[in-house]
Amino acid sequence: MYENTGGNRVTLYLRTGREGRDTAFRFASESGVSAFYWIDGPMGYAVSAKMPREGLLSIARLVYERLED
C-alpha cells in the first residue's frame, strides 16, 4: 500500500497459483473504490484506489510495465 501526504492510498495485490490463465486488464468498481486486475502467467495482480478510472489505469499500466522488467 502506498499513501501520499494527502492520505490518498493505492494498493497493489499479488497472488500466485493462476498458471496459464493470462487476461487483459479488467476493471471493477464498488463503493467508490476502483480496481484494475489481470493475470500474467502464474501471478494475479490488482491495483485499487479511490480515484477515477483514467488515473488508476495509468497507475496499473505503470505497475504492469515495471513488473515486466
Task: Classify residue 24 by its DSSP letter.
Answer: -
pTM: 0.84
Q: Distance between CA atoms of 40 and 46, rounded to whole angstroms?
A: 11
Report pLDDT digits (tens) over 10-51: 999 999 976 667 788 899 999 999 999 998 888 899 999 999
Q: Are 25 and 62 contacting, i.e. CB atoms less than 8 angstroms apart?
A: no
